[in-house]
Amino acid sequence: MLRNKLPGKGTTIFSVMSQMAQDHGAINLSQGFPDFDGPPALRERVAYHMGHGHNQYAPLAGVPQLREQIATKVLDLYGCKINPDNEVAVTPGATEAIFCAITTVVHAGDEVIVFDPAYDTYEPSVTLNGGVTKHIALHYPDFSIDWQQVRDSINERTRLLILNNPHNPTGTVWSDNDIQQLREVIAGRDIHLLSDEVYEHIVFDTKQHLSLLRYPDLAARSFVISSFGKTYHATGWRVGYCIAPVPMMEEFLRIHQFINFSTNTPMQYALADFLHDCPQHHYELGNFYQEKRDLFCALMASSQFSLIPSGGTYFQLADYSAISDEIDTKFAARLTREYKVAAIPISVFYKQPPDQHVIRFCFAKHKDTLREVAQRLISLQSPEGGSDSNATNSSQ
């Protein structure tokens, strides 16, 4: 009999809601992908390299030109000097990099701390490596970290802390105090860090992204993972990368070679060209998405949803407690069926879901798409003196 290695884990919520959006003809603001293509110049470079012989296996760690450009970018943005020859690995998506990083350091019985709501790939990767995931819930409504709880949760079996900044699904970003608290928590301990920074360039309101690469003491024990798909509006390309010190990267690559070995070759060459020729793209990305965030929040201001503007990523949380007392999974399903807008219920990212009524929208969409979504959601009203749990779709 086949034994399930991930008991209790079914199909990811992203697949579920995207399929539901398709089945009901809904606008899909659930799964995190844009409804527009990446830069034409970047796509042209892919075609160029496909036509010029770059179609065979890439080196294990990635095309040298791309690793060099990554090192240049990291030095420019974070003042961190890395060796492109032995401290960078290009991977087929950030998810594979996360799995390799976890596999590098987690052995049977090791404990790994994650912060809920947590991206749903973390715990399965820990479980498959025989580790134990310990969940610490972020504080609602600002989703801040309780650093004292982190201190209380660490013991001699704690091997890894998984951090996500900017944070998916909440859109929060780290402060200088978070960095200082992290330093104090792990000082003198044999603990590694996995910093999921795939939304590093999407930070709003003139704030800086506090990458762990800015801090030599933290970088020395960190896997820092990024995503070209998020940066260049091309999530289907599945190209990410990991930066880590040499001893950690050597083990990372030893594992990576037996999972996928190499990443799409012509896209790597194209990304190297574009990073060299068009660095303004990642510099301007925050403003690009902040305009969409501001538009979406303004359009939703007359609805009965409550929105605290996201600090980063291209996701926006919305509290619907003034509309319905349904649990978020049922509310999101009804929103998709009746109002033709798909969103993500965030309770699925918790070990123990709190008593809150919050869903996540992806605003990486054309402005007209966001206007249409807002028009549909503004029509969603709570019945006089009660919840909307039995309401049907109507126009205002």
Look at residue 333 in the predicted model and tell me its pLDDT. 94
Query: Domain range spanning residue 109?
Result: 40-278
Beta carbons of 359 and 317 less than 8 angstroms apart:
yes
Flag whether pLDDT at 145 surpasses 70: yes
Are 256 and 308 in a shared domain?
no
d(CA 119, CA 107): 21
Pair 261, 339 in one domain: no
> How high is the pLDDT of residue 392?
35
pLDDT tens-digit readout, 291-341: 999 999 999 999 999 999 999 999 999 999 999 999 999 999 999 999 999
What pTM does this model have? 0.93
Same domain, 187 and 240: yes
Is the pLDDT at 394 greater than 50, yes or no? no
Residues 356-384, mean pLDDT to the nearest whole number: 91
Whether 244 and 310 map to the same domain: the answer is no
Please report whether residue 119 resides in a domain: yes
**Do 138 and 235 sit in the same domain of this protein?**
yes
Q: 269 vs 393, which has greater pLDDT? A: 269
Give which of 340, 280, 271, 346 is closest to 316, Cα–Cα.
346
| Tens digit of each residue's pLDDT (9 = 90 or more) over 273-287 | 999 999 999 999 999
Nearest CA-CA partner of 267 in 298, 311, 228, 295: 228
What is the pLDDT, as a whole number, of residue 388?
54
How far apart CA 11 and CA 129 sit, in angstroms, is 20
Burial of 120 (0-12, 13-18, 19+ CB in 10 A): middle
- pLDDT value of position 393: 35
Tell whether 236 and 330 lie within a shared domain: no
Q: What is the pLDDT of residue 383?
A: 60
CATH assignment of the domain containing 235? 3.40.640.10
316: domain CATH number is 3.90.1150.10
Q: What percent of the chain has pLDDT over 90?
A: 87
Alpha carbons 82 and 104: distance in angstroms, whole number? 20
6-10, 150-154, 372-376: which has the minimum mean pLDDT?
6-10
- In-domain check, residue 3: no
Count up the domains in the chain and report the number.
2
Residue 90 makes CB contacts below 8 A (sequence gap 6+) with: 58, 61, 62, 63, 66, 67, 70, 239, 240, 241, 263, 268
Q: What is the mean pLDDT of residues 359-373?
A: 97
Q: Which two tokens stand for residue 264?
A: 């799409």
Please indicate, yes or no, whether residues 138 and 84 belong to a single structural domain of this protein. Answer: yes
